[in-house]
Structure 1
């Protein structure tokens, strides 16, 4: 730290200001707030999660969400926080960080309808005709100009906003990932695909994901599209995880290296999913949800499954040795169990490629992305400081 230029104390030029409290808006202010809050929560008996140190409760700038199955304990925690912090209790949660939360005794429904509407308003597509598919399997030969989306700044702004929308809309993850790869220089075909996606969102603006009561066993699905990028020939990994019937995690990502075979691309996706499953199991343990059995990982590539279960290492697979040993170790220690699945039943297929509308809608239902129910009710509370 140093004294600001033009305000240097001539007598004591090496002195700096000693702040008795953090100034809101400085770079260190969020960190100081986090340290102050977590120190108090720890003094109340909370413990940091080993898998995620911020798991005490979800802290985002100045909004706090407290949840649990003991209303009396929740009320006591809120009263203790009131004694140390200037807070306002907002009651049962209906919206948190742009996510609408609707409730009934057996289900929570998460959606971002208002947020999606604001994106469409920026693109001036609030009243556009809707489409049934966020992507298209064949691009037209000619692209008409778009005065709004044709502006690279607007393209980047909307695409960045769509990344946040994928928090409750796993069905658009592949499309958003594809558009995000061309933020630096969007071409006419990318502007066309962005408008196509926005028209799909217009028709499914009330869609979201339900959280339902079911068993608490973790299961995951992995898929890859070998050499799907026509320019770089890199593959796309896609995987998702369910806790019972509830979708809790999903990822779409282009692989870092060019795969020499479909088996290699599928195996790299399996290795990435295995790492994610290991982390999810640790987080679930922090919540008191023990996974007593190995987590089932479903893959539609029999060669990748055989490679993972085969202890003999072949010369043809030397280039994926690290991933091979990583997956093999977790199979050996019963962390995961690899199982085959028919490609037709593979829900992760929606994360790796453009699909026909019937196929897309079939997989969307498997991910439980559905329209918002008419009425719901429940018990989670929000606090604002």
Structure 2
């Protein structure tokens, strides 16, 4: 083994060190993806998604399904330092088998957003070691299957350490059911994180706070009486309640406006997206010059 000095690059992730911060970014890797799609000189956008699609799409015969799959697969690795694009990449990944013109439109829009945020990444800051999480779900958000999308993230102090975007396996019959399934999935992730931190000697003496904007899901978790109408989510209900009773987690209400995990579950307007991106701590490399984005 050889001591190579302070770390500055690891598997395509650039690590920049300042006084009390490590900054992780993948600028070179993102640039390679743009070059692969011949979009290295495209105009940037401020939002990777759109809330309303155009009435028609280009019928360009050069749309290559293999290139779509290759680029989408590459973007999945880029999400290691870019949680702000996790929802967009998740949407693209659902159509690898048969990409249509609207999916190429979504891909190019995402790449134009990346073009304007090449220097962006996530900082690891010197802060407290208190674990907290945010959970959200978009009920029946998929217009084809009406399945919901779960999204959640966890912070250790001010540093984001875990995030997930996933489509639920079954159709939820209510918003409470979809939110509760997201809570159950997040609870599993939190228990693993607490055990991992414990192995590092960072014991979480207090329950991990989970912020949820669905008061019905919180009430269901705290209600010791099991109702027949919630029988279809009995396992999730008992699982979350068990960890509540063991003081591993604590559910707290939060306004939808302040729900950080909202960025993982749906397409947002540009002002809303930028606000939540800041809450995720995704920002430009402090040693790189700033860039101006077009809306």
Q: Taking structure 2 as the reference length, what is the TM-score of the superposition?
A: 0.96
Larger radius of gyration: 1
Deviations 1:195-240 (A, max 9, x none): 0000000000110000001110000000000000000000000000
**Where does residue 222 of structure 1 map in the other structure?**
135
Q: CA deviation at 1:147?
A: 5.8
Q: Which runs of 5+ in 1 are unaligned?
A: 1-86, 376-385
**Where does residue 284 of structure 2 map in the other structure?**
371
Deviations 1:288-322 (A, max 9, x none): 11100000000000000000000100011000000
**Where does residue 32 of structure 2 map in the other structure?**
118
Matched, 1:335 2:248: yes
Matched, 1:210 2:210: no
C-alpha separation in 1, matches of 2:176 and 2:60: 41
**Where does residue 93 of structure 1 map in the other structure?**
7
**Where does residue 180 of structure 1 map in the other structure?**
93
**Where does residue 355 of structure 1 map in the other structure?**
268
Q: CA deviation at 1:145?
A: 3.8
Deviations 1:36-56 (A, max 9, x none): xxxxxxxxxxxxxxxxxxxxx
Q: CA deviation at 1:270?
A: 0.2
* SS of residue matched to 1:92: coil
C-alpha separation in 2, matches of 1:145 and 1:275: 44
C-alpha separation in 2, matches of 1:242 and 1:146: 43
C-alpha separation in 2, matches of 1:204 and 1:266: 31
Among residues 194, 201, 225, which one is paired with 2:107 in the alignment?
Answer: 194
Among residues 228, 234, 238, which one is paired with 1:321 in the alignment?
Answer: 234
Matched, 1:133 2:47: yes
C-alpha separation in 1, matches of 2:248 and 2:138: 26
C-alpha separation in 2, matches of 1:374 and 1:164: 23
Among residues 177, 181, 191, which one is paired with 1:278 in the alignment?
Answer: 191
Q: CA deviation at 1:93?
A: 1.0
C-alpha separation in 2, matches of 1:187 and 1:350: 24
**Where does residue 84 of structure 2 map in the other structure?**
171
Deviations 1:17-75 (A, max 9, x none): xxxxxxxxxxxxxxxxxxxxxxxxxxxxxxxxxxxxxxxxxxxxxxxxxxxxxxxxxxx
Q: CA deviation at 1:89?
A: 3.2
**Runs of 4+ off more than 6 Å:** none
Q: CA deviation at 1:146?
A: 4.7
**Where does residue 56 of structure 2 map in the other structure?**
142
**Where does residue 241 of structure 1 map in the other structure?**
154
Q: Taking structure 1 as the reference length, what is the TM-score of the superposition?
A: 0.74
**Where does residue 255 of structure 1 map in the other structure?**
168
Deviations 1:221-263 (A, max 9, x none): 0000000000000000000000000000000000001000000
Alignment: residue pair count: 288
C-alpha separation in 2, matches of 1:357 and 1:143: 22
